[in-house]
């Protein structure tokens, strides 16, 4: 079976490939027909579905897409779907992270809970759709630590950990991450529904 993952991120491709095993996975760089769609949804699931539908419609392949971000308790679950552009410009990880730290600077430790959340969607060319969620609970630290990962990883410590996500090895992070959980749930659906 051939499957499209609607991403240009090679790391995500490798991660999903490892989880899916025998499936033949391609990315957006392999399917020129795909047109970027604005991530205009107000939920992670909406955004993942938008991308998965576009992929299935353009290529005729079952398509997986994901959207994820950081949900801070003291910010009512934001930055949420705006995680990648919280400070106003898309993809400025350092500015986004510094802004969140500044916004919660007066919030004491017991109230600094947060979660990385991932929605992963699967759209089949026959019109069927599935959405799953993965979550990694933890808390925000006060000063960034670590050089691994990306995004908000340097300010997030997962439950049961003392190291920030940016201080974990890639394998350690995959095992507990929101995206790992969502992709594993989707792998099960792919096997049973499309296999």
Catalytic residues: 67
Phi then psi for residue 110, to 5 deg, are -65, -15
For the CB of residue 100, give the shortest distance to its own copies in the complex, in Å.
10
Closest to its own copies by CB, 77 or 125 = 77
Q: Which residues bind its own copies (CB under 8 A)?
A: 38-40, 42, 74-78, 80, 82, 85-89, 98-99, 102-103, 106-108, 111
Residues 6+ apart with CB under 8 A from 152: 70, 83, 93, 96, 97, 100, 116, 165
Of 149, 187, 175, the C-alpha closest to 17 is: 187
Closest to its own copies by CB, 57 or 99 = 99
For the CB of residue 76, give the shortest distance to its own copies in the complex, in Å.
4
Q: In what order do the strands lie in the sheet with 113-123?
A: 24-27, 2-5, 63-72, 113-123, 129-140, 156-158
For the CB of residue 36, give the shortest distance to its own copies in the complex, in Å.
13
SS3 56: helix
Closest to its own copies by CB, 73 or 174 = 73
């Amino acid at each position: 079976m051939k499957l499209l993952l609607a991403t240009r991120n090679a790391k995500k491709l490798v991660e999903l490939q490892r989880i899916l095993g025998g499936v033949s996975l391609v990315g957006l760089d392999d399917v020129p027909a795909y047109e970027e769609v604005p991530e205009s949804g107000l939920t992670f699931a909406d955004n993942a579905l938008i991308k998965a539908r576009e992929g299935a419609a353009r290529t005729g392949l079952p398509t997986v897409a994901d959207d994820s971000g950081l949900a801070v308790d003291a910010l009512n679950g934001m930055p949420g779907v705006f995680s990648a552009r919280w400070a106003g410009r898309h993809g400025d990880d350092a500015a986004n992270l510094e802004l969140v730290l500044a916004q919660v600077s007066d919030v004491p430790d017991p109230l600094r809970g947060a979660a990385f959340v991932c929605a992963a969607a699967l759209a089949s060319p026959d019109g069927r759709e599935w959405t799953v969620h993965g979550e990694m609970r933890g808390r925000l630290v006060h000063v960034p630590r670590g050089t691994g990962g990306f995004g908000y990883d340097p300010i997030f410590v997962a439950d049961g950990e003392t190291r920030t996500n940016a201080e974990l090895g890639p394998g350690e992070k995959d095992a507990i991450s929101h995206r790992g959980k969502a992709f594993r749930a989707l792998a099960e659906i792919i096997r049973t529904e499309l296999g």
